[in-house]
Amino acid sequence: MALVWSFLAPSRPQLHWPSASRRQCVTEELSDTIHQAFHIATQGRPGPVLIDIPKDVQFATGSYTEKPKAKVSHYQPKVKGDIETITALVEAMEQAERPIFYTGGGVINSGTHASQLLRELVAETGFPITSTLMGLGAYPASGDNWLGMLGMHGLYEANLAMHGCDLMINVGARFDDRITGRIADFSPNSRKAHIDIDPSSINKVIHADFPIIGDVGHVLEDLLRVWKSRGRKSNAVAVKKWWDQIEEWRAVKCLRYTNSETTIKPQYALERLEALTKDHDRYICTEVGQHQMWAAQYLGFEDPNRWMTSGGLGTMGYGVPASVGVQIAHPDALVINVAGEASWLMNMQEMGTAVQYHAPVKQFILNNERLGMVRQWQELLHGERYSHSWSEALPDFVKLAEAFGCKGIMVSDPNDLDDAIMEMLNYDGPVIFDCLVEKHENCFPMIPSGKAHNEMLLGEAETQGVIGAEGGVLV
């Protein structure tokens, strides 16, 4: 028999299969099972589904059930939000003095229509908007109301606005610990709305004053309709004052860093990559680590589905296969995997796939010869007692590229960086770009684990002893 498993979260596997049918012989049900699996994978809160097809079913012969006839009725998530709660939220929006939209991957998962509605709502209301790592691109980075990413390595202005707001409108995000920091101090003076298709996410971590279960696209449509029908009212004077405050936080310029004439700073490498590629039809993937956070901070995403990264329990090794897949889906686009050397090595065999399928994907490796994110934590949490967070035996990435039949480029001098990036872009085929960067750069801003949003570290200034044991266990 075939079983369907849906993994909504790595720690929360859920079986979506009626137990009665598990006892039946299922060769005849195989096509039905596969249609159901795709339904579960794409509907509601999407996620991977594992179909377990035993050998006897693999060898048997059966008849095919067409997709429209497949039984999918047991999993029909609620898409329309409760209109009374939506109206109550609009009332709160009309009165809010310090509102903020806090958006997440749910906006992207809901489809491009949801991103359009979000943009319209932000333009209508004039409220500031921030997003989690997974939601980048739903609202354009060049948009007037964009505060940048929030969270552990989010922007100062985004995190302080979350801390100080009086109305937080969570659209398709899940209040995870990289966002909330210390829960008791999370945005203490705000009323919170939470729009999510997964009922189990609501009130799981943070109490929602306006809980709205539904698909982001449907709920935003209703929200906009109610907002307009009530006359598009907002507390303009107070919201203007709120923006003045946000501008003061922005003036801190939290992404500033000290550049170098001799060593490539990872932030500089990403600034140059952004400048030289932002006008391309571009897709960015990442691995997991410091490079991933810097990519989120220094690259701008104008549209949804342009940013493929592994969030939640981020998985090193995600970026190489993801980038090959994205390139095969978009053969003419520029697809770049911003990688750390350690993550990159985890699935480097997929360069063979890139070569075999002529996928001209660019592997942009910020090589610090370190498990940089681990090293950063060892510095901050363990008094610079480094353990197993560096490598003295890395391969020569240029030779590795040649061994795979792709192009290899190595650059270590900041003055050569632009030319090297242009060489990568102009090469019609897969490239492994080995960018040797500063080995001990830390990623800031940073909210240490277990601290509140207004206790961010902005730079190297004083980082020792700032994270207590309580925060340490949360890393």
Ligand X SMILES: Cc1ncc(C[n+]2csc(CCOP(=O)(O)OP(=O)(O)O)c2C)c(N)n1
The site for Mg ion (CB under 5 A) is made up of: 340-342, 368, 370, 372
Beta carbon nearer to ligand X, 101 or 433: 433
Helical segments of 213-346, H only: 216-229, 236-250, 266-277, 290-298, 319-329, 341-346
Q: Choose the one of ligand X, Mg ion, none that binds residue 327, judging by a C-beta under 5 to 8 angstroms depending on kind.
A: none
Buried b (16+ CB within 10 A) or exposed e, 87-108: bbbbebbbebebbbbbbbbbbb
Beta carbon nearer to ligand X, 175 or 294: 294
Where does residue 25 rank: exposed (0-12), middle (13-18), buried (19+ CB within 10 A)? exposed
Beta carbon nearer to ligand X, 112 or 391: 391
Q: At what angle do helices 236-250 and 156-164 cross, to 10 degrees?
A: 140
Q: Choose the one of ligand X, Mg ion, none that binds residue 343, judging by a C-beta under 5 to 8 angstroms depending on kind.
A: ligand X
Q: What are phi and psi of 338, to 5 degrees?
A: -80, 115
- At closest approach, how far in Å is the CB of 367 from Mg ion? 7
Beta carbon nearer to ligand X, 133 or 193: 133
Candidates 202, 371, 401, 452; binder of ligand X (CB under 6 A) is: 371
**Interface mask (CB under 6 A) for ligand X, residues 239-278, using x and -?**
----------------------------------------
Beta carbon nearer to Mg ion, 157 or 341: 341
372 is a contact residue toward ligand X (CB under 6 A):
yes
What phi-psi label fits residue 388: left (phi over 0), alpha (psi between -120 and 50 degrees) or beta?
A: left
- At closest approach, how far in Å is the CB of 295 from ligand X? 9
- At closest approach, how far in Å is the CB of 372 from ligand X? 3
- At closest approach, how far in Å is the CB of 297 from ligand X? 13
Residue number of the CB atom closest to ligand X: 340
Neighbours of 437 (CB within 10 A): 28
* CA–CA gap between residue 30 and residue 224 (Å, rounded): 43
Q: Choose the one of Mg ion, ligand X, none that binds residue 373, judging by a C-beta under 5 to 8 angstroms depending on kind.
A: ligand X
For ligand X, the binding residues in 338-367 under the rule CB under 6 A are 340-343, 366
Neighbours of 265 (CB within 10 A): 18
237's tokens: 């004077």
Buried b (16+ CB within 10 A) or exposed e, 280-301: eebbbbbbbbbbbbbbbbbbeb
Residues that bind ligand X (CB under 6 A): 287-291, 314-317, 340-343, 366, 368, 370-374
